[in-house]
Amino acid sequence: MLKNISWRKLVQKFRRLDFDGPYSGGRHLFMVKGKLKVRIPNPHRGDISRFLVAEILKQADISDEDWNEL
């Protein structure tokens, strides 16, 4: 089961999955792994909701199980 997560932890987990970034690009930041480009929310107060985390993981083709193992 996914949990709410801080922006910093989100970036750390993506880096552990060999993503580079975050880079600025228009309205949102993004992280890159090969040709895959995943948009992430801009840093803000409070945690990122588990629902948004689920959407980001879907975009990155990362399973909940793989995410929770990090």
Per-residue pLDDT reduced to its tens digit, 31-42: 999 999 999 998
pLDDT for res 56: 96
> For residue 39, which of 24, 61, 49 has the smallest C-alpha distance?
24
CA dist 35 to 18, 32, 60, Å? 12, 7, 11
pLDDT value of residue 18? 95
Domain annotation for the chain: domains and CATH numbers:
7-69 (3.30.920.30)
pLDDT in tens, 41-59: 988 889 999 999 999 999 9
Convert the pLDDT of each residue in 13-31 to its tens digit: 999 999 999 999 888 899 9
